Structure 1
Amino acid sequence: MKFLRFLLVSIIVLLVGCEESVEENPVVTVYAKPVSEASSIIEISEQDLELESSGDQIELVNVCYNDEIYIEEEKTCSLKIDCNDTNSCIEWGNKVITDLEADYGSLVYEESVATGNEGISLLASYNVDHEGEMIYTEEKVSEEMMEYHSRLWYSFSWLIPEQYRKAIDQFEVFESGDTLAYVSLHDKYGRYWTLGMNNKDIELASETLVTYLHEYAHFLSLNGSQIDYWVAKEECTSLFLKDSGCFYEDAYLDAFYKKFWESGGHGKIEDFYVSRYAMYSPEEDFSESFAHFILTKTPSGQNVMEEKLLFFYEYEELVQLRTEILARTATWLVRSAGYKPKI
């Protein structure tokens, strides 16, 4: 069944507004990322456009290759990680990217084009059973639709280790001509989240990768461990963003904002942002930069754009996350692109 060519990239982040008195149903703000804004600023040569998915082959065939391990609780194969500290894991990750680029081309290339402006039509909503690695619903959905939507969820959950996504406990599939994906907060304390995916297919696996990681970065930077949703703007002593809330002083986005957005900057756009959509807000810049941090080799820091990628390397836990996601990306791509390494 074709399922990996689905339309996904970007964003609706539904976040609780910070009010002095919190209502039973908190105010939410919607971020929508137009599909037509997805393309990267950086020019990509034709040989870098090789990363096309073949869709039918991503599901696990009950076997891992000899350079992989089987994660039984997640029913997933992952590349064996060969590093033991932060520096060696950075280098190991860079080698994995080099090898993947040699086989598939750029891992961050995007080329979606908007097909309409009809908003979002929800097709189905599911609860996520992380322990059973499955989705379920009380809605009436056909067996074929359930299977297709399960594969959509599985392709995301394959890339993100379970321990890092347990708070994403709802999954929605929708139709839209100009929205690729979203995450939304469905708990006023910032604890539990929904992931939404567009039901339509696209050709590029690289765009799917960027989309997954972009949406995950929203969850990573805007959940209840990062933001105090109960503090009003007048009472916030740290960063307060009107579409997000009051950030804790050790929050990732607080540090990112102070370093790259507080004082502003001037110069060529491509020296500051990894994509055009990153220009929209600190939240979008953080998420776009995070996806490139995972999927590109460590830069030297020649401009602000590269400094934004190096920002994530300051956190050991994010380097560890990068390492684990890249190990899974390698096995995900082998199956999604039909590439079979030597056993």
Structure 2
Amino acid sequence: MRLFHFLLVAFVVLLVGCEESVEENPVVMIYAKPAIEASSVKEVSEDELLELETSSDEIELLNVCYSNEIYIEKENTCSLKMECNDYSSCIEWGNQVVANLEADYGSLVYEESVATGNEGITLLASYNVDHEREKIYTEQEVTDEVLEYHSNLWYSFSWLIPEEYRKEINQFEVFESGDTLAYVSLHDRYGRFWTLGMNNEDIELASETLVTYIHEFAHFLSLNQSQIDYWVPQERCDSLFLKDSGCFYKNAYLSDFYKRFWEQGGHGKVEDFYVSKYAMYSPEEDFSESFAHFVLTKAPSGQNIREQKLLFFYEYEELVQLRSEILARTATWLVRSALKVQE
């Protein structure tokens, strides 16, 4: 199994487009975070990696995967065996996985922002995504070395997110930037097909990378065509309309999230309302930041608005199932990353 250098990513939102009349103008939305800095890490050899232990049992390599993992053939990916079969057991199992991973790796949501000040994005390469073969390809001239490197960037994201949840992300871009490390954007008029962009710089901070990948996926989850009616302009929208996104269906995740946590506003300490400062930027960013923390932290008690935002996602059985699947993949992703062996 290949070892990966994982992209360290954080975000500054760049929201472009979403004109009032979607019939006349294609919608382009870019979501990103400010660049961040990795902590001091060192690489380990493959032999050393095979000696790593999980927080529960010592693991043995069986063909491609370890003995406590399953092999997902169609994605060429290993995943921890899920040991839950209903809503309640999956919540508890997910909480235990988070506790085990935190014991081995520390906080899964730690972020360390260090934007360089070199603003702007320079596109280096654009790829189409072949989900059947789990590969990226391009008609541009790129060397085999560059293609392999960019393929690993894509695979580090696709490993975490089950294929069935990301099929509409069918384009992948690699860029250079000093203040943006990842984004998602529409590349058709009506919210069906999406692009994932990643910074070409390989900076290694696993927790930041995890938060970024899941945050960007949450944008797609909450803004795709099943959530927004991209045919309806603002003047004809009879439900929630957000100027940078569009007209949400009444049963959309963000519709409920907005009405519950943004419509009335609130007063108090910022840390009691948001999981991060970046979440304050907009309802869309608050949703995505909160979703990442929902996946990567244990279920809270709901003592303040910030915790209530995380509990919001537990009201959807399908999101609890998705959390379990992502956590199962996060465990195998982390054990191979070699990012937690400190100097």
With normalisation by structure 2, the TM-score equals 0.89
Query: Counterparts of 1:338 and 1:134 in 2: how far apart (Å)?
Result: 25
Question: Which residue is 1:9 aligned to?
Answer: 10
Closer/same/farther in 2, CA of residues 97 and 296 from structure 1, 3 Å limit: same
Question: Which residue is 1:26 aligned to?
Answer: 26
Question: Are 1:274 and 2:284 counterparts?
Answer: no
Deviations along 1:236-277, one digit per CA (max 9) or x if unpaired, are 111000111000000000000000000000000000000000
Question: Which residue is 1:329 aligned to?
Answer: 330
Deviations along 1:281-323, one digit per CA (max 9) or x if unpaired, are 0000000000000000000000000000000000000000000
Question: Are 1:128 and 2:124 counterparts?
Answer: no
Query: Counterparts of 2:283 and 2:9 in 1: how far apart (Å)?
Result: 21
Q: Number of aligned pairs?
A: 327
Question: Which residue is 2:177 aligned to?
Answer: 176
Question: Are 1:308 and 2:309 counterparts?
Answer: yes
Query: Counterparts of 1:313 and 1:115 in 2: how far apart (Å)?
Result: 37
Closer/same/farther in 2, CA of residues 10 and 61 from structure 1, 3 Å limit: farther
Does structure 2 conserve the Cα–Cα contact (< 8 Å) formed by 1:278 and 1:288? yes
Question: Which residue is 2:95 aligned to?
Answer: 94
Question: Which residue is 2:53 aligned to?
Answer: none
For 1:28, the aligned partner's letter is V
With normalisation by structure 1, the TM-score equals 0.89
Please show how residues 5-84 of structure 1 align to structure 2 within 5 Å: 5-10=6-11, 17-20=18-21, 22-23=23-24, 25-35=25-35, 54=43, 63-84=64-85
Q: Which moved further from structure 2: 26-35 or 133-142?
A: 26-35
Question: Which residue is 1:165 aligned to?
Answer: 166
Query: Counterparts of 2:340 and 2:8 in 1: how far apart (Å)?
Result: 22
Report the CA distance between 1:201 and its aligned residue.
2.1
Does structure 2 conserve the Cα–Cα contact (< 8 Å) formed by 1:4 and 1:56? no
CA RMSD in angstroms, aligned pairs only? 2.5
Please show how residues 180-259 of structure 1 align to structure 2 within 5 Å: 180-259=181-260
| Structure 2 residues not aligned, in runs of 5+ | 50-60
Deviations along 1:50-87, one digit per CA (max 9) or x if unpaired, are 9x6849869x9952111100001110110000011000
Does structure 1 conserve the Cα–Cα contact (< 8 Å) formed by 2:10 and 2:208? yes
SS at 1:28 equivalent: coil
For 2:156, the aligned partner's letter is S
Does structure 2 conserve the Cα–Cα contact (< 8 Å) formed by 1:81 and 1:327? yes
Query: Counterparts of 1:55 and 1:140 in 2: how far apart (Å)?
Result: 33
Report the CA distance between 1:115 and its aligned residue.
1.1
Q: Which moved further from structure 2: 198-207 or 242-251?
A: 198-207
For 2:235, the aligned partner's letter is E
Query: Counterparts of 2:240 and 2:274 in 1: how far apart (Å)?
Result: 21
Report the CA distance between 1:19 and its aligned residue.
3.0
For 1:116, the aligned partner's letter is G
Query: Counterparts of 2:45 and 2:194 in 1: how far apart (Å)?
Result: 29
SS at 1:159 equivalent: coil
Q: Which moved further from structure 2: 26-35 or 161-170?
A: 26-35
Does structure 2 conserve the Cα–Cα contact (< 8 Å) formed by 1:4 and 1:53? no
Question: Which residue is 1:111 aligned to?
Answer: 112
Question: Which residue is 1:45 aligned to?
Answer: none
For 1:199, the aligned partner's letter is N
Query: Counterparts of 2:290 and 2:80 in 1: how far apart (Å)?
Result: 24
- Identity across matched positions, percent: 74
Query: Counterparts of 1:312 and 1:225 in 2: how far apart (Å)?
Result: 17
Deviations along 1:72-119, one digit per CA (max 9) or x if unpaired, are 111011000001100000000000011000000000001031112330
Does structure 2 conserve the Cα–Cα contact (< 8 Å) formed by 1:270 and 1:305? yes
Closer/same/farther in 2, CA of residues 198 and 3 from structure 1, 3 Å limit: farther
Does structure 2 conserve the Cα–Cα contact (< 8 Å) formed by 1:10 and 1:214? no
| Structure 1 residues not aligned, in runs of 5+ | 40-48
Report the CA distance between 1:11 and its aligned residue.
5.6
Query: Counterparts of 1:134 and 1:170 in 2: how far apart (Å)?
Result: 11
